[in-house]
């Protein structure tokens, strides 16, 4: 709208009146713009609202949780009315048990690791899926240069039936490699990698940035599992069905905070890498850059929608492997919170068009 100057201004009174009208108009326009901004972000805490204390767990230490690390280190949850305690619970089974018992209120973990328990009847749902592709790579010892060289060798896994075991078997089965043993090592990816270094096993499936360390130490990146085109949902936000029913506003605000963390990490690479470095105790710049590129650029989904087709396909794979599947795919996730971010204009506020 064009603001036209007052044409009549012969008298001082008229000039003052005209100036007052113009000041009022600019103030009205300013307030209108502010009102639109508030309407587009309805998830921030209200003035004077007491912060709510929540516990969010991760089931591993991984660059795949870069957005959570970034949000924690830069206090992004505070504006949404939360004081967050981050806890580490090794393994998806223990983490899901804590979530069901309300010892933690949210779990951030690879959905492919938790779907077997959810499919078997655990009353937990995925409420946001920021990462939806497969970042794993197969690292092998220096003498193992091709997949065929794994014949008669062993791959290190955390335990039988877990995600590392299922992914390792998927590679072996896809390429029909004979006589490959799956040796349970337990521990973290770093501990399984060290088992390979000590020749207890000849290969391990890991995620960035550990692949950079392996490459720099002379080991082989033998296969990138993203090329298998498996149905896969990686880092995902989980909540119990009870919490979703009792406190939907809390779930909605947390999902909104994760959406802002994705935007913040995208626009602030130095702060995101600093958060990854602190939690994972990484100083190597190449490793940090690879982690940042993979987890905040290459496999991220800004909308955080849990892909229904991928959930259904994953359940079919689990059923084929003998996992009991008692729930329907649509009962394992709730996309209403992520969809609300679109409807409210919040995503547009974060990203523009």
The predicted structure's pLDDT at residue 24: 47
The predicted structure's pLDDT at residue 321: 82
Quote the distance between the C-alpha of residue 255 and its chain's center: 11
pLDDT at 27 over 80: no
Give mean pLDDT, residues 160-164: 86
The predicted structure's pLDDT at residue 26: 42
Share of the chain above pLDDT 90, in %: 76
Please tell me the distance from the alpha carbon of residue 284 to that of residue 84, in angstroms, as a whole number: 28
* 54: CB partners within 8 A, 6+ apart: 82, 83, 84, 85, 105, 106, 250, 254
Give mean pLDDT, residues 52-69: 95
Least confident of 169-178, 223-232, 304-313: 223-232
Which pLDDT band holds residue 3 (cuts at 50, 70, 90)? very low
pLDDT at 4 over 80: no
Which pLDDT band holds residue 175 (cuts at 50, 70, 90)? very high
Quick: pLDDT tens for 72-112. Answer: 999 999 999 999 999 999 889 999 999 999 999 999 999 98
What does DSSP say about strands 137-140 and 203-206: parallel, antiparallel, or unpaired? antiparallel
Diameter of the chain measured on Cα atoms: 100
The predicted structure's pLDDT at residue 40: 54
Of 199, 320, 211, 302, nearest to 258 by C-alpha is: 302
The predicted structure's pLDDT at residue 291: 94
């Amino acid at each position: 709208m064009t603001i036209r100057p007052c044409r009549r201004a012969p008298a001082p009174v008229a000039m003052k009146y005209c100036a007052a009208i113009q000041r009022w108009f600019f103030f009205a326009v300013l307030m209108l713009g502010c009102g639109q901004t508030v309407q587009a972000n309805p998830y921030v805490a209200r003035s004077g609202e007491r912060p709510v204390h929540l516990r969010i767990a991760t089931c591993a230490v991984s660059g795949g949780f870069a957005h959570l690390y970034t949000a924690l280190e830069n206090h992004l949850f505070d504006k949404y009315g939360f004081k967050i305690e981050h806890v580490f619970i090794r393994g998806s089974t223990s983490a899901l048990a804590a979530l069901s018992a309300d010892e933690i209120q949210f779990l951030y973990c690879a959905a492919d690791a938790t779907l077997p328990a959810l499919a078997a009847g655990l009353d937990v749902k995925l409420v946001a899926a920021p990462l939806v592709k497969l970042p794993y790579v197969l690292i092998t010892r220096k003498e193992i240069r091709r997949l065929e060289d794994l014949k008669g060798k062993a791959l290190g896994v955390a335990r039988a039936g877990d995600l590392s075991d299922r992914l390792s078997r998927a590679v072996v089965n896809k390429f029909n490699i004979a006589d490959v043993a799956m040796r349970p090592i337990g521990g973290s990816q770093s501990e399984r990698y060290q088992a390979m270094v000590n020749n207890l096993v000849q290969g391990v499936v890991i995620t960035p940035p550990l692949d950079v360390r392996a490459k720099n130490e002379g080991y082989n990146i033998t296969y990138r599992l993203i090329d298998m085109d498996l149905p896969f949902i990686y880092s995902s936000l989980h909540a119990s069905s009870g919490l979703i029913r009792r406190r939907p506003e809390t779930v909605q605000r947390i999902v909104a905070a994760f959406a802002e963390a994705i935007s913040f990490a995208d626009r602030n690479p130095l702060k995101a890498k600093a958060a990854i470095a602190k939690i994972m105790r990484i100083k190597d710049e190449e490793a940090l850059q690879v982690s940042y590129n993979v987890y905040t650029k290459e496999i991220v989904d800004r909308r955080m929608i849990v892909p229904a087709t991928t959930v259904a396909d994953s359940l079919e794979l689990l059923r084929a492997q003998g996992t009991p599947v008692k729930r329907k795919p649509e009962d394992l996730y709730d996309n209403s919170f992520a969809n609300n971010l679109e409807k409210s204009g919040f995503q547009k506020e974060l990203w523009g068009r």
